[in-house]
Structure formats: C-alpha cells, structure tokens
Structure 1
Amino acid sequence: MRTILNIIWLIFSGLWMALGYALAGIICFILIVTIPFGIACFRIAGYALWPFGYRVTERHDAGLASGVGNVIWLVVAGIWLAIGHILAGISFCVTIIGIPFGIAHFKMVPVSLMPLGREIVPTAQTYPGYRWSQPGYNT
C-alpha cells in the first residue's frame, strides 16, 4: 500500500516539492555559509519524494547550533514552507481519496519549520522493541 501511495504522491505532489527543496539546497550550497541548510533541504527533498513509510524523529545529540540555525530557518523560509504544506494539505483533504496525501503534507510541517536536529527514518525503526529506536544506536 505504501508503494502505491508513494507513486501517486510522486505524480501529484512529491516531484514538484522535491525539485523545489533541491533547488533551495543548491542555492544554499552556492552561498557557502548556508551549507547546513542545504544539507537539510536535500534530506527533506528525499522525504518529499517518498513520505509514506518514513517519519521524522528528533535527534537528541543536536546542540545549540542546530537550535540557532532552526530559528534563522524559521524566520527566513520555515514559515513560508509550513504555510505551503498546510494549504496543500487542506486542499488534498477536500476529497476522500486525497486525505492520505493531505496527512502527508501535515506530517511535513514540523520538518519544514525546523529541519536541523531532526532525522528521517523508516517507520518501523521508531517502534519500541526495535534495535534502531534505542538511544545511542546511531552514534
């Protein structure tokens, strides 16, 4: 089911969103000072291509720099991206078939608001009992 949803998502929303995030990432890399934001843009672009079967988790090892970066990101781009995801989510939720895609847009709001200090992982890895969900496994 996730594969079918991801393919439909890719056609109607994902490809355009991923291209937008990738373009923003390239611009961030050109400006050199904003390279951490560029890395985050490319991570979000991958998530925008295939959101079903993945979720966003917070990294507990993120420090003060990611917090300051998130504040800068929030002011410069995060609010506008979040508004775009909210409007797209509402427009998808108008139809019954579009509800899963609207929910996927709503899932992307937190990572578009504050992308630094977050990690995109497969859904199965975030459930208790899995080895990957235990603190310190990825270090």
Structure 2
Amino acid sequence: MNIIGNVIWLVFGGILGAIVWLIAGLLLCVTLIGIPFGLQCFKIAGFVLWPFGRDVDIGYFGAGGLIFNVIWIVLLGWELAIAHLVVGVLFCITIVGIPFGVQHIKLSKLGLVPFGARIYWS
C-alpha cells in the first residue's frame, strides 16, 4: 500500500510540492539568517516527496528550536498548517481520499513546527 500510495501521491502533485519546497529552501539558504529555515524546508521537501510509510513526531527541540519555531509560526507556519489541515479534511470526506487526507494532516503538523520534528519510517 505504501508504494502504491507514494506513486499516486507523486503523480498527482508530490513531485511539484517537493520541488516548490526545495526552491524555497534554496532561496532561504542564500542568506546566513535563513539557513536554518532553508534546512527545514529541505526536510519538509523530503517528506512531501515520499510521505506514505513515514510519520512525524514533534516536540524534540531545545531553546533554540523553540525560538525558531515561534519565528516560523509567526511568519508562515500557521498558514501552512491551516492549508494542509483544510486540504486533509476535504480529502477525508471521501473514502478514497482518506489516506491522502491523513498525509496532509501529517504535513500540517510538520508545517506548523518543523524545528525539532522527527520524521521516521513507521
């Protein structure tokens, strides 16, 4: 199921989403201040590329991660989380879309607080 879900995900937007996150990460890494945020964009891009069979745990951050998460949330994290949450709920309305809705809900967690988030194979 994971391979089939990931292939369908890639065909219907996963590749495009990963490319957008990679470009955002590259643009953020141009400045010295943006490098930590760019690295988080690369982490999110990897998850967007192949989300089925992987899970996200949040909350493994220290004081620096807390500060960066607050900056992230204020600038764009809350918008990303709400967007993925809305798309996830819309996918979950249909039975066929439930697996894709669950992936968007995982992305909403990661989009809200990427610093200190752990992505692992489940």
TM surpasses 0.5 = yes
1:50 corresponds to which residue? 50
SS of residue paired to 2:29: helix
Q: Following the alignment from structure 1 to structure 2, what is the Cα–Cα distance between the partners of residues 92 and 42?
A: 25
1:133 corresponds to which residue? none
| Greater gyration radius | 1
Shift of 1:41: 0.5
1:120 corresponds to which residue? 119
Shift of 1:92: 1.8
Q: In the alignment, is residue 94 of structure 1 matched against residue 103 of structure 2?
A: no
Structure of greater relative contact order (alpha carbons < 8 Å, 6+ residues apart): 2
| 1:1-139 mapped onto 2 (5 Å cutoff) | 1-58=1-58, 60=60, 62-123=61-122
SS of residue paired to 1:83: helix
Q: Is the 8 A contact 2:58 2:110 kept in 1?
A: no
The 1:59/1:81 distance shift into structure 2, 3 A limit, reads: closer
Runs of 4+ in 1 over 3 A off after TM superposition: none
CA offsets 1:57-110 (integer angstroms, 9 cap, x no match): 2464x3201100000000111011112211221232232211110111011111
Q: Following the alignment from structure 1 to structure 2, what is the Cα–Cα distance between the partners of residues 87 and 13?
A: 17
Shift of 1:16: 2.3
Q: Following the alignment from structure 2 to structure 1, what is the Cα–Cα distance between the partners of residues 89 and 59?
A: 29
Q: Following the alignment from structure 1 to structure 2, what is the Cα–Cα distance between the partners of residues 63 and 35?
A: 18
1:128 corresponds to which residue? none
SS of residue paired to 1:52: coil
One-letter code of the match for 1:51?
P
One-letter code of the match for 2:54?
Y
Q: Is the 8 A contact 2:21 2:41 kept in 1?
A: yes
Name the % identity.
43
Aligned Cα root-mean-square deviation (Å) = 1.4
For this pair of structures, how many residues does the alignment match? 122
Shift of 1:36: 0.7
SS of residue paired to 2:120: strand
Q: Is the 8 A contact 2:27 2:38 kept in 1?
A: yes
For structure 2, which runs of at least 5 residues remain unmatched after alignment?
none
